[in-house]
Amino acid sequence: MHALKFVWDPSKGLDILGFFTLHYYSVMWIVAFILGFLIMKRIYKNEKQSEESLDSLFIYSVIGIMLGARLGHVIFYQRELFSEDFFSIFLPVKFKGGFEFTGFQGLASHGAAIGMIISMYLYNKKVLHKSVIWILDRVVVPVACGAIFVRIGNFINSEIVGKPTGTDFGVVFVQNGEAFPRHPAQLYEAFCYIFVFIALWYFYWKTKKSEQQGFLFGLFLVLLWVVRFIVEFVKEPQSEHEYIATSTLNTGQLLSIPFILIGLYFMFMYKSKKQTA
């Protein structure tokens, strides 16, 4: 039975020139954005969009997703930073307790989703001039791919851990000073996101659903946040704010419900509304 217990104790990152550590978590974000750019390049070529508009899309996406993810984490899980270490919210360093380069740690997927939507609105208004839903239907394909690598980064970082399994099955996160196995909740999510990406890829390339405005965006919201809602049952709370609203659902689950409902609306109601307009 002990063979089912996996001890996880990796290094945090690559030491560069003795004073800078390139965190593997940051590397996973870089991989996510590069793969996302390549996927979107293929989609834009299929849609006969210019390379200039693709370059602008990349810039808007990076800024919107990273800023939204960071603010989302602070607002939902670490509000004390507003008063205790304000500049660490926006910079990859911390000042409280001494200056330290930390990289961009503490990023919330709910905030990233909101940031993505806002940045796509601005991108469409300033650059694309089509419709926000048109770009959202397409950008969710690379975003789903990127989510896989972000969760792998969380696993490498030994963060967003699962609850103790109570058995010999699970992962021992040694970096957290523990000797008992937990659910590898990050890997559960990453594995499920592979199928979210495959589903979106299939519906875009192999069906006519990309012509139904809002469907792919809605499908993304439903699949991604249903996965998040379910996996949250085996996750540890990320902060003391987790169970304020209810004793059964945590913050991540409560925030997932509106996204799922919005997704269902775009999948099954948005088109009929357009037709009757």
Report d(CA 185, CA 158) in Å as an integer.
10
Which domain, by its residues, includes 164? 2-276
- The tens digit of pLDDT for each residue in 265-276 reads 999 998 654 444
Tokens matching residue 135: 């770009």
Single-letter residue type at 189: E
Low-confidence ranges of the chain (pLDDT < 70): 1-4, 16-21, 81, 84-95, 97-106, 238-247, 271-277
pLDDT value, residue 191: 97
SS3 101: strand
pLDDT value, residue 110: 78
Q: Which of 72, 73, 99 is nearest to 85 (CA)?
A: 99
pLDDT value, residue 255: 85
Could you tell me where the DSSP H helices lie in 47-184?
51-77, 81-84, 109-123, 132-156
Total structural domains within the chain: 1
pLDDT value, residue 104: 60
Q: What is the pTM of this model?
A: 0.84
CA-CA-CA-CA dihedral for 200, 201, 202, 204, to nearest 10: 80
